[in-house]
Amino acid sequence: MTTRRPLVIGNWKMNLDFVEALHLVQQLGVLMKNRPVEHTDVVVAAPFVDLRSVSSIIDSERFAIGLCAQHVNAQENGPHTGEISTSMLTRLNVEWVLVGHSERRVHYFMSDEIVADTLRSVVRAGQHAVLCVGEELSVRENGEHEAFVAAQLESALHGLDEKFHALLTVAYEPLWAIGTGVNATVEQVHEMTAHLRKVLRSMSFSAPQVLYGGSVNTENAATLVRESDVDGFLVGGASLKAESFYAILQACDDCYAIKR
Ligand code: PEP
């Protein structure tokens, strides 16, 4: 792990209604108050309909938890039935947005062009964009994974005004590891984070923050964080229970405290 402050984002996907979401945040907040997570930034990516209630409880209980949307439309307003804009998120104190998660790319036809437009809308709104990149298994088997993710970065970030660079976080999420129980190995994560940082630096990003996502759990988090130079995690399944998410936060926190 690098000596940058870790970031862990829980992606709840299409789980938890607003009552369940409140319950989970309350449990997580209590765990974090009993034993604070001092060195790690904690963010939850809730479904749209949960954002208002989760925002209220974070605010009223003063929990050190940031709020993230799982997606947003690139347009500001207008005839986009079923969609949500960045200004709507701003009104709900949302400071983070996942951009181009593979489930959106694969199942909801989010093209590279839409990913690039969405990312620009997010950073122009002053929100942190978490750009998700990652390859299918067949791409890795063909040895093309590095070129594939470099092309994803290029297409999403080319020409992005430097004043927005600090709002970018990249999440490396190989598709074969998402929700499968098969996580990337320490070596694979290490190689890919180094590669992503190199590509980002060649595009003038000075201190790119790179997360890993894909079947991170309480068993593998400590090893991945200790033995690779990843800056933190994007966590799906294991973020749905306060105890398992909190254990991942603690693994990052302990590691950072030792390495600093
Ligand atoms: C994700 O959806 O971003 C993810 C990493 O999921 P999981 O942790 O369940 O593999």
Ligand 1 centroid to 78 CA: how many Å? Answer: 32
Domains of the chain: 7-259 (3.20.20.70)
pTM: 0.97
Which atom belonging to ligand 1 lies closest to the Cα atom of 216? 8
What distance, in Å, lies between the first and last C-alpha atoms of the chain?
Answer: 10
Looking at residue 169, what is its pLDDT?
Answer: 98
Which atom belonging to ligand 1 lies closest to the Cα atom of 183? 10
| Structure confidence by residue, pLDDT tens digits, 23-47 | 999 999 999 999 999 999 999 999 9
Token representation of residue 10? 């829980």
Whole-angstrom Cα distance, residue 99 to residue 70?
7
Of 71, 145, 173, 195, the active-site residue reads 173
Whole-angstrom Cα distance, residue 34 to residue 91?
30
Q: Alpha helix (H) ranges present in 158-205?
A: 186-202
For residue 53, give Cα distances in angstroms to 17, 57, 98, 114. 10, 6, 19, 29
CB-based pocket (< 6 A), ligand 1? 11, 173, 178-179, 213-216, 234-237
Q: How far is CA 24 from the centre of its chain?
A: 19
Strand partners, 168: 129
> Whose Cα sits closest to atom 4 in ligand 1?
236
With contact defined as beta carbons under 8 Å apart, do 48 and 84 qualify? Answer: yes
Strand partners, 235: 10
Looking at residue 93, what is its pLDDT?
Answer: 95
Q: Using only C-alpha atoms, what is the Rg of the chain? A: 17
Looking at residue 2, what is its pLDDT?
Answer: 60
Testing ligand 1's pocket by substitution, the residue of 173, 219, 233 carrying the most ligand atoms inside 8 A of its CB is 173
> Whose Cα sits closest to atom 6 in ligand 1?
236
Looking at residue 207, what is its pLDDT?
Answer: 85
Ligand 1 centroid to 33 CA: how many Å? Answer: 26
Of 71, 101, 128, 145, the active-site residue reads 101
| 101 part of the active site | yes
* DSSP one-letter code for 170: E
Q: How far is CA 90 from the centre of its chain?
A: 18
Ligand 1 centroid to 34 CA: how many Å? Answer: 27
Strand partners, 232: 7
Q: Alpha helix (H) ranges present in the chain?
A: 18-34, 51-61, 86-91, 102-107, 112-124, 137-141, 145-157, 186-202, 221-227, 242-259
| 144 part of the active site | no
With contact defined as beta carbons under 8 Å apart, do 235 and 7 qualify? Answer: no
Whole-angstrom Cα distance, residue 26 to residue 23?
5
Looking at residue 150, what is its pLDDT?
Answer: 98
The stretches in the chain having pLDDT less than 50 are none
Whole-angstrom Cα distance, residue 45 to residue 171?
14
Ligand 1 centroid to 178 CA: how many Å? Answer: 5
Looking at residue 255, what is its pLDDT?
Answer: 86
- The two beta strands, 128-133 and 7-11, are unpaired
Residue type, 14: M
Ligand 1 centroid to 8 CA: how many Å? Answer: 12
